[in-house]
Amino acid sequence: MKKLLLVLSLLVGLNSVALNATGTKHVSHGDVNTEFTLEQLAKYDGKNGNKAYVAVDGVVYDVTNAEYWKNGTHVPTEGKLQAGIDATEVIKKSPHGKKVLAELPVVGKLKK
Ligand code: HEM
């Protein structure tokens, strides 16, 4: 019986590794149904240990540990783009467009 349990738990373990390896690219942490008002979003500015969140098309993304973001500032914009805002219009004008969003954890949505 013990052996059977061991084999079963090994299989479950292997399965979850496989799922992780092939799983969807879209990362999501926490409750994606969390709603943020613009006022609440503004607190996630990446400063003083705050997390850094940015909204695009009503979805709130976590850029705290994102490449090219440092303490809530999007480095290539030389300080012009800060976290804590709705950047829907800004990203339209960026060289990379929305494809970069697929790599970011989703943390919620913007309250309408
Ligand atoms: C989440 C919302 C984001 C917005 C609104 C945004 C916006 C922008 C804007 C406006 C620029 C142009 C800067 C300038 O030349 O003045 C830019 C550049 C750049 N961004 Fe973003 N960005 C976002 C996320 C990201 C992410 C997650 C990455 C990392 C993969 C990234 C990587 C870059 C890079 C490498 C550049 C330099 C130009 C290039 O090589 O494409 N951005 N971004």
pLDDT tens column, 22-76: 444 556 666 788 999 999 999 999 999 999 999 999 999 999 999 999 999 999 9
Q: Helix, strand, or coil here: 3?
A: helix
The answer, yes or no, to whether any atom of ligand 1 lies below 6 A from the CB of 63, is yes
Radius of gyration of the chain (CA): 18
Q: Which of 90, 89, 92, 57 is nearest to 74 (CA)?
A: 90
The answer, yes or no, to whether any atom of ligand 1 lies below 6 A from the CB of 43, is no
Residue nearest to atom 43 of ligand 1 (CA): 94
d(CA 104, CA 54): 10
Q: Helix, strand, or coil here: 112?
A: coil
User: How much of the chain, in percent, has pLDDT values that exceed 70?
Assistant: 73
Tokens describing residue 52: 């850094």
Q: Model's pTM, two decimal places?
A: 0.80
